[in-house]
Amino acid sequence: MDNNTSANPAGSHGPIVSLRRVRKNFGSLRVLDDVSFEIAPGQVASLIGRSGSGKSTALRCIDRLETVQDGEIFVDGLPVHDPALELRSLRLRVGMVFQSYNLFPHLTIEQNIMLAPCKVRRIEKAAARDLAHHVLAQVGLLDKRASYPEQMSGGQQQRAAIARSLAMQPKVMLFDEVTSALDPELTGEVLKVIEGLAADGMTMLMVTHEMGFARRVSNKIVFMHKGRVWEEGTPAILTNPQTEELSQFVKSEL
């Protein structure tokens, strides 16, 4: 896309997520330094790189959990970088799943999932319950709808957190190291859910250290290094790196 044009209006055929020369500082530390990349509708992209390379910060800026010092971010035509942006309109388009599940312990899984559709989308309780059952079935947890978070494994809680985001029917899903706190068996069940979403055509941007999974599920890889996009392309860049930095990173992750 021509960087001199305005963002594509929602629903057009351009990228659904676009970062243009984004800069983000924490005090005197520059965490994102002229970061630019785009995600097309239906694309599954993985953000990879060492700890401290800016991956999670980029994700948080897309969801406006962090504000940027410079540059532009568009999501489905919305100018996320604009301080005047009404955040509810962004929350209706973007779902984010974190390392920690952030489920309310005093609510059942069904109630956790119904909460945002009722409060933010303002849909009726009966419709929200039907929606909760649908997304719980999608992640294989319909039989756990009356359970409380503490009665479930970490993998089940993470799948419930994914279901909660799906219930908002977002256009883009963001995943921030969602398996980092899980053991290998539980990691597998969460990745299987994400793989299913990819097969269904959900647009996703994932920060992940699971290189095998990133290679299998993604159709775009963005390698970040020292706050910059160092390399990007298809998963083929993982087997044929063009820079020494990506080459070293891939070796360290094997």
Q: What is the pLDDT of residue 64?
A: 94
SS3 assignment, position 98:
coil
Give the pLDDT score at 135. 95
Of 108, 101, 95, the residue nearest 168 (C-alpha): 95
| pLDDT (0 to 100) of residue 112 | 96
Rounded to whole angstroms, how far apart are CA atoms 7 and 129?
36
Q: Mean pLDDT in runs of 10 for the chain (254 residues)?
A: 39 83 95 96 95 94 95 96 92 89 93 93 94 95 95 93 93 92 86 91 93 92 97 95 95 82
CA-nearest of 139, 147, 81, 160 to 108 is 147
Q: Which residues contact 17 (CB under 8 A, 6 or more apart)?
A: 38, 39, 62, 73, 74, 75, 172, 203, 205
Cβ atoms of residues 8 and 2 within 8 Å:
no
Predicted structure pTM score: 0.90
